[in-house]
Amino acid sequence: MLIQLGYREEAGGQRTERGSSRLPDRGSHSGVVAPALDIRPARIADIRRVEPLINDFARQNLMLPKSADQLCRHFREFVVATDAAGRVLGCGALRVYSESLAEIASLAVHPAAHGSGIGRRLVERLLEEARGLELSTVFALTLKDGFFHKLGFRTVPKEMFPLKVWADCRNCPKLHACDEIAVAVGV
Ligand SMILES: CC(C)(COP(=O)(O)OP(=O)(O)OC[C@H]1O[C@@H](n2cnc3c(N)ncnc32)[C@H](O)[C@@H]1OP(=O)(O)O)[C@@H](O)C(=O)NCCC(=O)NCCS
């Protein structure tokens, strides 16, 4: 599988001309898994890669936009998926709301890498973190409920998560016309 990210990273993380990285197929579920894929906590320098990843999808109304400032303030909540060349192929965050509840937020995989199992690996890693924190429930608000159902989440009423509504939804332009679906899983 050839993943065209549309840029090439050089030592120092500078984005230069269009490039690609070879990620060999490995027969698994529907798609392909990059064997060299690493899922690790985000570093502050990753934010310049994470920000366009999220905001490209936000412009398509697939997720909430995030400013670089917001991402810097919350970068410790993030994990990133990187390939053998260290390029960021995906990201996701675990946002804790209470002693028992957390949200998977800002989950995004580079379009050229969709279907490679990266989204699954990011969610599994965030659920592992949630278990480590001894939380009991993880939820997400999403337009991709089918993806989350594959990972064991169930659709639940949005009203179950008033803290989320207080924290994010009140500032969302779609507040009164929210089309996102709440999904949750016990951890
Ligand atoms: C949703 C998203 C993160 C999935 O990432 P991905 O790496 O393409 O997904 P994976 O390859 O890990 O897929 C895991 C499983 O979910 C399935 N799946 C993926 N996207 C799906 C979708 N939209 N609907 C239903 N199933 C889906 C895959 O077929 C696979 O199933 P399998 O294991 O039975 O073969 C990615 O499409 C994305 O970044 N979308 C845009 C941003 C977005 O909507 N983020 C979610 C915000 S909460």
Ligand 1 atom nearest residue 120's Cα: 12
Query: Which domains are assigned to the chain?
Result: 32-186 (3.40.630.30)
pLDDT value at residue 25: 36
Q: How far is the CA of 116 from the centre of ligand 1 (A)?
A: 9
pLDDT value at residue 172: 72
The CB of 52 under 6 Å from ligand 1? The reply is: no
The CB of 63 under 6 Å from ligand 1? The reply is: yes
Phi, psi of 32 (to 5 degrees): -135, 140
pLDDT value at residue 36: 86
Ligand 1 atom nearest residue 148's Cα: 16
Strands 101-109 and 137-142: parallel
pLDDT value at residue 13: 43
pLDDT value at residue 162: 77
Task: Name the residue with the closest Cα to ligand 1, atom 10.
Answer: 117
Which amino acid appears at position 154 of this protein? R
pLDDT value at residue 57: 96
pLDDT value at residue 17: 32
pLDDT value at residue 159: 84
pLDDT value at residue 101: 95
| Helix (H/G/I), strand (E/B), else coil: 40 | strand
pLDDT value at residue 29: 39
pLDDT value at residue 12: 40
Task: Name the residue with the closest Cα to ligand 1, atom 19.
Answer: 147
Written as tens digits, the pLDDT of the chain (187 aa) is: 456 665 444 434 444 333 333 333 333 334 445 558 999 999 999 999 999 999 999 999 898 899 999 999 999 999 999 999 999 999 999 999 999 999 999 999 999 999 999 999 999 999 999 999 999 999 999 999 999 999 999 999 988 887 776 677 767 767 667 788 999 999 9
Q: What is the DSSP string of 58-114?
A: HHTTSS----HHHHHHTGGGEEEEE-TT--EEEEEEEEE-SSSEEEEEEEEE-GGGT
Ligand 1 atom nearest residue 104's Cα: 48
CA dist., res. 67 & res. 53, Å (int) = 12
The CB of 122 under 6 Å from ligand 1? The reply is: no
- Identify the bridge partners of residue 185 per DSSP, sorted by sequence position: 138
Stretch (H or E) spanning 155: strand 154-155
Q: Please write down the long-range contacts of 170-173, taking CB distance under 8 Å and 24 or more positions apart.
A: 172/64
Task: Name the residue with the closest Cα to ligand 1, atom 48.
Answer: 142
Q: Are 126 and 79 in contact (CB under 8 A)?
A: yes
Residue of 28, 50, 66, 147 best suited for mutating to test ligand 1, as the one with most atoms within 8 Å of CB: 147
pLDDT value at residue 26: 35
CA dist., res. 62 & res. 44, Å (int) = 24
